[in-house]
């Protein structure tokens, strides 16, 4: 969850590293630091808080040197303060390291080092590892060997970059569970947690695999190898997105930009795949598992957070269109309960980053038990994309805002196509397939109509920005939308919010409803519309304030709700796609009114790469 940048080349390292950290700050913003190898010393600057604090108080750009590393932290071990900020150094200050992940056996290693007379300045597991590397260097006299030897002793996850005054023309990186990308330029290298910190310098990258390391040298040579010292031959790939994809483009926040990008990103999700005239979909990434999908007895979807909510919608889609039983599992719980899986099962892993630690653990458990595993991820070259048997990319482009918006609707786009793809193989009539495909094709234009109402949604948000609790209610396909709407509000505004199936309101949450409780209903016209109307009346009878997401022209809802946000009609199965957008905007405008940093909400980070 932390951001790592390392640079070796002919240019001054500090400005490149700091600019890279700004690109990666969505991965963690508890503290930041840089280390530059300058002549025979390590010059380090660290500061609690955001990268801007580091620039203001340390001025790393004034530190000369062409080799260095930097880090922006999401705290795991130790408070987010100056001392615990990375980089950390060994005992004599000749080796520095930045680290993403958790060293699970750090206390065992620390005890060994304490017994050997070493002392520690921080509370971090990272300092333990770099001190250990330093001890091994004294014994072995070779930095790469010391790193490899130390990592053989480590239990847990890591993405590390190491530099040293002993070898000022070398930079070493290694990963297990935490992503690292090696950018290859003209006689220069940039190592980072993801490609957004690299793209302004080079588009040529190598994605390191688990238990793999890269050793780069100032003369332009490099090697990739396993931690066990076996050479690997990774293909150099090209970054696919453009630099403007990670700029705000005139918007106040990345989150708002990404909300407004959804008509385009959704269209990108079905471009070249959807076949409306045939009522079908072409998903080339699934051709190798098509026969298994045709005969599968069960599908298990595993994911975390927003991706889990998308999976719940996927359950409804697959059971309706493909008539196959579906279970949706929290990835964080999946492998710890010894799930019953066999070779006929299909496991789908959904993750924006493709690096979510819990989801990775779940797919590895599923593969070990013989299941066919499919990935639905956004980031090309990510670990989940590489480790699954087949998959479909979202094509949402980089998502910088920590609260997921466009990735969620892109996940629904891909899940809808997947359900149509499997459904047509398992007997879904072509006529019904055409209805779904045509409705899917029309979604981007309908999204535009919702975004045109942003000013009205903002007015509703201003009326409720001081609320302390929200309730979100929906039924059928719209129940997962209620969960997602509540999550968005919690994430960025820090208002307590809960999502429920509307009928469950009477089984507890109704006790909370009074004149101070805003209740958001997703109340679109479908087969259970009348039931939702009854639920609204129950809230009104208790003086609750009703905000309704309803179809355009719905006079019944207008008569009973305090506020209505209208969305166009679509195929009922696609309603979650449209209904989610006003809830994103509602959460965004409430958070802005409350003075919250919507792109970097407290305690959160974009990619959860540690358990």
The string of pLDDT tens digits covering residues 307-334 is 999 999 999 999 999 999 999 999 999 8
Q: What is the mean pLDDT of residues 265-272?
A: 96
Going from the C-alpha of 121 to that of each of 71, 124, 127, 128, the distances in angstroms are 18, 9, 8, 10
Q: Range with the lowest mean pLDDT among 65-74, 454-463, 510-519?
A: 510-519
110 assigned to active site: no
Per DSSP, 370 falls in state: T
pLDDT at 127 over 90: yes
The end-to-end CA distance of the chain, in Å, is 10
DSSP 3-state assignment of 422?
Answer: helix
The candidate with the shortest Cα–Cα distance to 347, out of 383, 400, 384, is 384
CA distance 105 to 115: 16
Going from the C-alpha of 419 to that of each of 136, 325, 410, 447, 514, the distances in angstroms are 54, 12, 14, 21, 41
The C-alpha angle with vertex 111 and arms to 105 and 93, in degrees rounded to 5, equals: 95
DSSP 3-state assignment of 193?
Answer: coil
Task: State the pLDDT at residue 60.
Answer: 77
Question: Given pLDDT bands bounded at 50, 70 and 90, which one contains residue 606?
Answer: low
CA distance 43 to 497: 46
Task: State the pLDDT at residue 462.
Answer: 97
pLDDT at 45 over 80: yes
- The torsion angles phi and psi of 344, rounded to 5 degrees, stand at -85, -5
CA distance 71 to 27: 10
CA distance 100 to 268: 32
Task: State the pLDDT at residue 63.
Answer: 86
- Reported as type and span, the H/E element at residue 350 is strand 345-351
Task: State the pLDDT at residue 515.
Answer: 85
- With a pLDDT cut of 70, the percent of the chain lying above it is 99
pLDDT at 419 over 70: yes
List 22, 50, 488, 606, catalytic entry = 606
Task: State the pLDDT at residue 244.
Answer: 76
Task: State the pLDDT at residue 607.
Answer: 64
Question: Given pLDDT bands bounded at 50, 70 and 90, which one contains residue 198?
Answer: very high
Under 8 Å between Cβ of 112 and 122:
no
CA distance 386 to 373: 11
Enumerate residues 6+ apart whose C-beta is below 8 A from 110: 120, 128
CA distance 363 to 345: 12
Q: What is the CA radius of gyration of the chain?
A: 25
In sign, the C-alpha dihedral spanning 249, 255, 260, 263 is: positive
CA distance 388 to 105: 29
- Reported as type and span, the H/E element at residue 170 is strand 170-176
Per DSSP, 42 falls in state: E
The C-alpha angle with vertex 533 and arms to 530 and 537, in degrees rounded to 5, equals: 140
C-alpha 205 chain-centroid distance: 20
Enumerate residues 6+ apart whose C-beta is below 8 A from 280: 420, 421, 424, 430, 433, 437
The candidate with the shortest Cα–Cα distance to 375, out of 396, 397, 353, is 353
Task: State the pLDDT at residue 381.
Answer: 81
Q: What is the mean pLDDT of residues 100-118?
A: 94
DSSP 3-state assignment of 92?
Answer: coil
Per DSSP, 236 falls in state: P
Under 8 Å between Cβ of 191 and 214:
yes
pLDDT at 146 over 80: yes
- For the chain, helix (H) and strand (E) counts, in that order, are 19, 26
Whether the upstream peptide bond of residue 87 has omega within 30° of 0, thus cis, is: yes
In sign, the C-alpha dihedral spanning 391, 395, 399, 405 is: negative
Task: State the pLDDT at residue 459.
Answer: 97
Question: Given pLDDT bands bounded at 50, 70 and 90, which one contains residue 1?
Answer: low
Question: Given pLDDT bands bounded at 50, 70 and 90, which one contains residue 211?
Answer: very high
CA distance 389 to 393: 13
Q: What is the mean pLDDT of residues 511-535?
A: 87
Looking only at the bridges linking them, the beta strands covering 212-217 and 222-226 are: antiparallel
Under 8 Å between Cβ of 289 and 418:
no
The candidate with the shortest Cα–Cα distance to 266, out of 434, 443, 112, is 443
- With a pLDDT cut of 90, the percent of the chain lying above it is 73
CA distance 164 to 143: 8
CA distance 579 to 477: 10
DSSP 3-state assignment of 47?
Answer: strand
What are the DSSP E strand ranges found in 408-562? 469-474, 496-501, 518-522, 545-551
CA distance 234 to 558: 59
Q: Write out pLDDT tens, residues 237-259.
A: 988 877 777 788 889 999 999 99
Looking only at the bridges linking them, the beta strands covering 31-38 and 518-522 are: unpaired
- Residue positions counted in the chain: 611
503 vs 444: which has the higher pLDDT: 444
pLDDT at 470 over 90: yes
The candidate with the shortest Cα–Cα distance to 159, out of 360, 354, 42, 3, is 3
596 assigned to active site: no
Beta bridge partners of 45: 34
Q: What is the mean pLDDT of residues 532-543?
A: 85
Q: What is the mean pLDDT of residues 253-275?
A: 96
Under 8 Å between Cβ of 437 and 423:
no
The candidate with the shortest Cα–Cα distance to 8, out of 200, 206, 161, is 161
Q: What is the mean pLDDT of residues 373-398?
A: 92
Q: What is the mean pLDDT of residues 269-285?
A: 95
Q: Range with the lowest mean pLDDT among 73-82, 136-145, 257-266, 527-536?
A: 73-82
Going along the chain from its start, the domains and CATH numbers come out as: 3-239 (3.60.20.10), 248-443 (3.40.50.10490), 453-598 (3.40.50.10490)
Task: State the pLDDT at residue 287.
Answer: 94
Task: State the pLDDT at residue 110.
Answer: 96
Task: State the pLDDT at residue 611.
Answer: 58
pLDDT at 400 over 80: yes
Question: Given pLDDT bands bounded at 50, 70 and 90, which one contains residue 263?
Answer: very high
The candidate with the shortest Cα–Cα distance to 366, out of 341, 386, 392, 349, is 341
């Amino acid at each position: 969850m932390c951001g790592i940048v390392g640079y070796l080349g002919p240019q001054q390292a500090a400005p490149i590293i700091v600019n890279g950290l700004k690109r990666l700050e969505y991965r963690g913003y508890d503290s930041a630091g840089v280390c530059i190898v300058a002549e025979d010393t390590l010059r380090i600057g660290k500061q609690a808080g955001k990268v801007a604090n580091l620039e203001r108080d340390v001025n790393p750009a004034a530190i000369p040197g062409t080799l260095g590393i930097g880090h922006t932290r999401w705290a795991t071990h130790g408070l987010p303060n100056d001392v615990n900020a990375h980089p950390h150094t060994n005992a004599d200050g000749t080796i520095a390291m930045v680290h993403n992940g958790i060293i699970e056996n750090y206390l065992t290693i620390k005890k060994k080092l304490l017994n050997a007379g070493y002392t520690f300045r921080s509370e971090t597991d990272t300092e333990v590892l770099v001190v250990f590397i330093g001890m091994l260097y004294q014994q072995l006299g070779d930095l790469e060997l010391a790193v490899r030897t130390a990592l053989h002793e480590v239990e847990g996850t890591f993405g590390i970059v190491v530099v040293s005054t002993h070898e000022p023309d070398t930079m070493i990186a290694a990963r297990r569970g935490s992503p690292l990308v090696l950018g290859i330029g003209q006689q220069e290298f940039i190592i980072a947690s993801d490609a957004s910190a690299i793209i302004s310098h080079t588009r040529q990258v190598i994605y390191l695999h688990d238990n793999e390391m890269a050793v780069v040298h100032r003369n332009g040579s490099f090697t990739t190898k396993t931690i066990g010292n076996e050479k690997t031959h990774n293909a150099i790939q090209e970054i696919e997105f453009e630099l403007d994809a990670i700029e705000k483009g005139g918007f106040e926040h990345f989150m708002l930009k990404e909300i407004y990008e959804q008509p385009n990103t959704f269209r990108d999700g079905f471009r070249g795949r959807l076949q409306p005239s045939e009522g079908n979909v072409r998903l080339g990434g699934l051709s190798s598992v098509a026969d298994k999908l045709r005969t599968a007895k069960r599908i298990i979807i595993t994911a975390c957070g927003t991706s889990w909510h998308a999976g719940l919608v996927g359950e409804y889609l697959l059971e309706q269109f493909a008539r196959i039983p579906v279970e949706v599992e929290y990835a964080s719980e999946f492998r710890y309960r010894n799930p019953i899986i066999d070779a006929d099962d299909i496991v789908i892993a959904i993750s924006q980053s493709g690096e979510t630690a819990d989801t990775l653990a779940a797919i590895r458990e599923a593969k070990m038990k013989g299941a066919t595993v499919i990935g639905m991820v956004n980031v090309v070259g990510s670990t989940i994309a590489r480790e699954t048997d087949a998959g479909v990319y979202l094509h949402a482009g980089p998502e910088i805002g920590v609260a997921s918006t466009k990735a969620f609707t892109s996940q629904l786009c891909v899940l809808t196509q997947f359900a149509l793809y499997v459904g047509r193989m398992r007997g879904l009539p072509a006529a019904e397939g055409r209805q779904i495909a045509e409705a899917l094709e029309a979604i981007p234009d309908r999204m535009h109509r919702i975004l045109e109402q942003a000013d009205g949604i903002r007015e509703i948000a201003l009326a409720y920005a001081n609320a302390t609790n929200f309730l979100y209610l929906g039924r059928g396909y719209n129940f997962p939308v209620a969960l997602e709407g509540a999550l968005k509000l919690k994430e960025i505004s820090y208002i307590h919010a809960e999502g429920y199936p509307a009928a469950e309101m009477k089984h507890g949450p109704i006790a909370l409803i009074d004149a101070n409780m805003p209740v958001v209903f997703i109340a679109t016209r479908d087969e259970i519309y009348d039931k939702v109307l009854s639920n609204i009346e129950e809230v009104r009878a208790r003086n609750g304030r009703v905000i309704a997401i309803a179809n355009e022209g719905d006079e019944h809802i207008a008569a009973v709700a305090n506020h209505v946000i209208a969305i166009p009609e679509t195929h009922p199965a696609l309603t979650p796609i449209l209904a989610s957008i006003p809830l994103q905007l509602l959460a965004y405008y409430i958070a802005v009114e409350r003075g919250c940093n919507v792109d970097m909400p407290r305690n959160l980070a974009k990619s959860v790469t540690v358990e």
